Amino acid sequence: MTAQRIRQGVFSASILLHLAALTPFVFTTRTETAPTAPSIDLSLTSAVARPEKPTQTAKPMPHPVRKEQAMKPAWQKPVPTTVSTTSPDAPPPCIRQEPAAESASAGTPQAIPASQSGNYLSIVRSRIEAKKHYPPFARSLQQEGAVIVNVVIGSDGAVISTSIVKSSGFSTLDNAALAAVRKAAPFPPPTGFGLGRLTVNIPLLFKLI
């Protein structure tokens, strides 16, 4: 028994010696054959965004402002003109006879047709036309127009009042029409024609010929 144990002890010791001799070789082999882990590049290449070039928007071209040149009226030398005294384009005069004072409350003024008082109206109108004067200022500016003047004539032929019924659009011509009536007065008494106090609308035409 003792010899057998000795053999087993020797055998175990030899095995341990062999294992001790093989241990460095095994570790060296494992170290040499161990696969190398692949290296991973963890550096991230960040894409740098290139700044975009700002797009230039086309600015609207300003429209050229056309400067309107003030047209200066060409000065024209005043041309001698004749004033139309017959007034062919003027409307016929209107005459209205007012009742006498004693019968004024009995009725309103009665209109008298021009055919019944044609003689008197022709006299009044011809005398006013003879005194009508075309203002030089209005003539130089080529002003034309028709004026209707309301004239109240008393029974003695005197002018009681005058007023503009229709203006020509030019104060110079309107004043010339009123001045013509004043210069033509007094007129013949309406009583000599069987008429009394009258209210007459006289049209006066100012026209360059």
Q: CB neighbours (10 Å) of residue 146?
A: 19
Q: What would the pLDDT profile of 50-69 be if each residue is shown by its tens digit?
A: 555 555 555 656 555 555 45
Neighbours of 141 (CB within 10 A): 13
Write out the E strands in 51-134: 94-97, 110-112
Tokens of 14: 């030899």
- 37-50: pLDDT as tens digits: 445 444 444 444 45
- pLDDT tens digits, residue range 61-113? 655 555 545 455 555 554 444 333 344 455 556 565 555 443 333 334 445 54
**Averaged pLDDT score across all residues of the chain:** 71
Q: Which residues of 179-201 are buried (b: 16+ CB within 10 A; e: fewer)?
A: ebbeebbebebbeeeebbbbbbb
Which domains does the chain show, CATH number per domain? 94-206 (3.30.1150.10)
Bridge partners (DSSP) of residue 95 are 112, 200
